[in-house]
Structure 1
Amino acid sequence: MSEPNVVAGLSLDRLENITRHLDENYIRPGKFPGTVTLVARKGEIAWVKAQGLMDVERDKPAQRDTLFRIYSMTKPVTSIAMMQLYEQGRFLLDDPVHKYIPSWKQRRVYASGVYPNFLTRPAATTMTIRDLFTHMSGLTYGFLFRSNVDAAYRTLKLDGGRDLTLESLVEHLAELPLEFDPGTAWNYSVATDVLGYLVQQLSGQPLDDYFREHVFDPLQMKDTGFQVRDDQMDRFAACYLYQPGDTMKLQDDPETSRYRHRPNFLSGGAGLVSTVDDYFRFAQALCQGGQLEGQRIIGRKTLEFMRSNHLPGNQDLPGLSIGAFSETPYEGNGFGLGFSVKTDVTKSYTNGSVGEYGWGGLASTNFFVDPVEEMVMVFMTQLMPSSSYPVREELRAMVNGALV
């Protein structure tokens, strides 16, 4: 007997486990405001579900077209944009970064001290463009709270202060020491913001214009951008912050959000807002080798290259990471050019396929592409930080459990 309610080889009854699980364990207990989840296979959206509230204070239900801050799910978009320029011969991955940012030529590495009185030594290696893609550059993030270097990032508001621009970010970074010699360790960082700066330098276009012309318009991603337009406001979710005791408090109100205006700082690392359907169009283009509905955003071979593990010696993240924060579990996962890449399913402790790739955002959004199963999942919610709950691993278990 064949199983009823199957779409694209996915059991809809089993996918309903996601509805139940999120409702019982996250939304009703007040851990998440609301969620929108989409699962597709072989190019067909099999299942999509909006649950809970997009704005608790205004009692507005989450809808399929709700706009979410996707934070670091911006990084794959920036990485694709940069690799479009690679395909045009504008740079090589082993080019030194200082070829394009001359002030970065004499990089130094932290030895001791606190900002502004650092003791440093000359870097033993030269930072390459690939080091920026793979988070092996020696740069860091202020929110990591791990070192005296990231404390300097916080002082200078390099994670996105009101007066920051891509130009001033690059200038500040030229003066700060690196955490380690480039290419010798993995540490999550502002490196993708630097890639966004390079997209502007190499293309001669502002980053938002470049994204629109070369990614969003070809894929008909009408709701994705660096700001929320007036005509989108009624669909813009509130964002929440985890509180001890598994509760949450309002972190960013839609009415007063900085996303209402085009930012000075066009963050290729964390700046975009999007919807589940828009981001699905991006992820589905990746799942189909770089094209969707006749519009190609990246070459098939280039994408294969990007979703390979680029960590030295094919190591996974535990072998190289110096920090505790990532948008993916470390074990069994390597890193490509802009995505995490699953290298060992059993070591990862999570159901899936070798070669599955994706990333998540600070407000707990997440996506993955499974090229073996031709499957895409996009999950949207608004709770910071993304390390609050293991919902991403739970979703993978339920999505893979629905394959028939």
Structure 2
Amino acid sequence: MTTESAVTMGESVAVKPRTTGTNPGVTLEPAAAGFDERRLGRLAAYLDECVARGLNRGSIVLVARRGELVHVSSHGTRDAEGRLPVEPDTIWRLYSMTKPVTSVAALMLWEEGVLSLSDPVERFLPSFARMRVARPGADGATVPAVEPVRIRHLLTHTAGLTVTGLADNAVNDAYRAAGIAALGEPEPYTLDELCERLASLPLLFEPGSAWNYSHATDVLGRIIEIASGMRLDEFMAKRIFEPLAMTDTGYRLPADDRPAALYRLNPRTGRPELMPDPGVAAGDLPTLVAGGHGLLSTARDYQRFVQLLARGGELDGERLLAPRTVDLMAANHLPGDSTMSAFSHPPARTTGIHAGRGFGLGVAPLLDPRSVDSLSSAGEYGWGGAAGTNFWVDPEEDLTVLFMTQVMPPPDDTWLALRRLVYQALVS
């Protein structure tokens, strides 16, 4: 497919982006946006090298400043046979890059007064009314939770929930025993059923007392359904994707040749190996329509979501959030301006992409770039996905970067290199 058309569910929608120079998709020459074009070429060369070294099979990166694309480059192939190149309309599994979208959906309802960040989850899900907390050092012993799980806890991953296989403790064992799948495993239950299982299990810690990556955004997705009266995928389609013209984003895998093949790095060889897609058949809606993962999108589509955040909640005349709400979303909400690693439970020493970052309402802001030897600006925020997708927004420089690839586990080294390569090319 060329950059002049987009296809979704069999419908063709005309799209004629402005282009300039020799780089298709670029709408502003790098020099006019403050970039040294020669230095920016190092970014494309690095991603070509990633393919050549076998770190991934294909990728695409989009760099924008002041809302204008200054660099777009595709690398490698999207199909398992290695014949079809990566293109702007290649379909990528977002995994946890679904979470910022769900967070925006919840904040839209918050702005409308449908819910409050301080609302106890039990207001919408009564089964969360009498949660219990695992007692440290006591295998299987629990005590009643003092603080209710609140919506702000879901948005900040401070609810006390966890993810199967994330750590070795009694709570994670209980998740496994309850049939809650780990990453990449089949999920033969609905969002409502998942939330009921989560409510029956002990919390890892008292709500609000620590940070832990979890199923919190899935519970948030169920609250969106109850509060809006719409299924989560329908709410996203009507309230986010249609207004933003994100025509290729949703939970259904298209039945064409655009989806990128999914790979897992072999821990012994360090080379990507094709892995079976854990999703459902093309065109079908998965049983679990989750708030924390499951969306599929193109770089072209998700770039519009990223620009919505960068432009303060409005894009091309469609306002989904107020600028102050986006600022609130991107601020650090961990107590004492703490980082994720310092506030985590169990304690974690973070040295990768999350080092030096706090956590906001669905995204992770960088607090002190110098403390982690980063060229990014303080306040740069974003998130990534389990198959290597990643984005960030830098309000200080009015800069955004979106990267798509499909390899597990997510490549921390690549994500960090992308930031260095983008910022070393930004000269004014």
TM superposition score category, shorter chain reference: over 0.9
Work out whether 1:136 is the aligned partner of 2:161.
Answer: no
1:193 to 173, 194, 218: 218
Q: Find the residue that maps to 2:134 and give its secondary structure.
A: strand
Work out whether 1:345 is the aligned partner of 2:366.
Answer: no
Deviation at 1:122, TM superposition (A): 1.1
% identity of equivalent residues: 42
Q: In 2 relative to 1, CA 299–266 (structure 1 residues): closer, same or farther, beyond 3 Å?
A: same
Tell me the equivalent position of 2:229: 204
Q: How does 1:242-281 map to 2 (within 5 A)?
A: 242-244=265-267, 245-253=269-277, 258=281, 260-281=283-304
d(CA) in 2 for partners of 1:51 and 1:189? 32
Amino acid aligned to 2:264: L
Deviation at 1:385, TM superposition (A): 1.1
Q: Find the residue that maps to 2:108 and give its secondary structure.
A: helix
TM-score with structure 2 setting the length:
0.87
Amino acid aligned to 1:187: N
On the 8 A contact 1:341/1:356 being kept in 2, the answer is yes
d(CA) in 1 for partners of 2:193 and 2:250? 22
d(CA) in 1 for partners of 2:352 and 2:313? 23
Amino acid aligned to 1:19: A
Tell me the equivalent position of 1:59: 83
Q: Find the residue that maps to 1:142 and give its secondary structure.
A: coil
Q: Find the residue that maps to 1:27 and give its secondary structure.
A: helix
Q: Could you list the per-position Cα deviations for residues 203-262 of structure 1 after superposition, in whole angstroms to 9, with x for gaps in the alignment?
A: 0001111001111011100111001233xx2111110011122112111359x8546421
2:188 to 163, 176, 181: 163
On the 8 A contact 2:341/2:350 being kept in 1, the answer is no
Tell me the equivalent position of 2:248: 223
Deviation at 1:44, TM superposition (A): 0.3
Unaligned runs of 5+ in 2: 1-28
Q: How does 1:302-317 map to 2 (within 5 A)?
A: 302-317=325-340
Amino acid aligned to 1:311: L
d(CA) in 2 for partners of 1:153 and 1:7? 53
Which moves more between the two structures, 161-170 or 391-400?
Answer: 161-170
Amino acid aligned to 2:64: A
TM-score with structure 1 setting the length:
0.92
Q: Could you list the per-position Cα deviations for residues 323-379 of structure 1 after superposition, in whole angstroms to 9, with x for gaps in the alignment?
A: 559897343211100000111111232211111110000001100000111111000
Unaligned runs of 5+ in 1: none
Work out whether 1:76 is the aligned partner of 2:107.
Answer: no
Tell me the equivalent position of 1:298: 321
On the 8 A contact 2:353/2:415 being kept in 1, the answer is no
Q: Could you list the per-position Cα deviations for residues 2-22 of structure 1 after superposition, in whole angstroms to 9, with x for gaps in the alignment?
A: xx9514222232221111112
Tell me the equivalent position of 1:39: 63
2:311 to 288, 300, 324: 288
Work out whether 1:126 is the aligned partner of 2:148.
Answer: yes
d(CA) in 2 for partners of 1:146 and 1:370? 36
Tell me the equivalent position of 2:20: none
d(CA) in 2 for partners of 1:395 and 1:41? 16
d(CA) in 2 for partners of 1:197 and 1:249? 34
Work out whether 1:18 is the aligned partner of 2:43.
Answer: yes
On the 8 A contact 1:241/1:384 being kept in 2, the answer is yes
d(CA) in 1 for partners of 2:232 and 2:121? 18
Work out whether 1:89 is the aligned partner of 2:113.
Answer: yes
On the 8 A contact 2:352/2:412 being kept in 1, the answer is no
d(CA) in 2 for partners of 1:218 and 1:339? 22
Amino acid aligned to 2:262: C
On the 8 A contact 1:52/1:62 being kept in 2, the answer is yes
Amino acid aligned to 1:192: T
Tell me the equivalent position of 1:373: 397
Tell me the equivalent position of 2:11: none
Amino acid aligned to 1:344: D
Tell me the equivalent position of 2:12: none
Q: Could you list the per-position Cα deviations for residues 53-83 of structure 1 after superposition, in whole angstroms to 9, with x for gaps in the alignment?
A: 1123353221121100010110000000000
Tell me the equivalent position of 2:424: 401
d(CA) in 1 for partners of 2:94 and 2:351? 12
1:149 to 139, 147, 171: 171
Amino acid aligned to 1:124: V
On the 8 A contact 1:226/1:259 being kept in 2, the answer is no
RMSD value, Cα: 2.1
Q: Find the residue that maps to 1:40 and give its secondary structure.
A: strand
Q: In 2 relative to 1, CA 332–389 (structure 1 residues): closer, same or farther, beyond 3 Å?
A: closer
d(CA) in 2 for partners of 1:357 and 1:52? 28
Higher strand share: 1
d(CA) in 1 for partners of 2:202 and 2:215? 14
d(CA) in 2 for partners of 1:72 and 1:105? 27
Q: In 2 relative to 1, CA 96–394 (structure 1 residues): closer, same or farther, beyond 3 Å?
A: same
Q: In 2 relative to 1, CA 7–235 (structure 1 residues): closer, same or farther, beyond 3 Å?
A: farther
d(CA) in 2 for partners of 1:211 and 1:331? 31
Tell me the equivalent position of 2:24: none
Q: In 2 relative to 1, CA 326–76 (structure 1 residues): closer, same or farther, beyond 3 Å?
A: farther
Q: In 2 relative to 1, CA 335–85 (structure 1 residues): closer, same or farther, beyond 3 Å?
A: same
Q: Find the residue that maps to 2:141 and give its secondary structure.
A: strand
Q: In 2 relative to 1, CA 166–368 (structure 1 residues): closer, same or farther, beyond 3 Å?
A: same
d(CA) in 2 for partners of 1:7 and 1:187? 42
2:199 to 153, 170, 174: 174
Q: Find the residue that maps to 2:371 and give its secondary structure.
A: coil
Q: Find the residue that maps to 1:121 and give its secondary structure.
A: strand
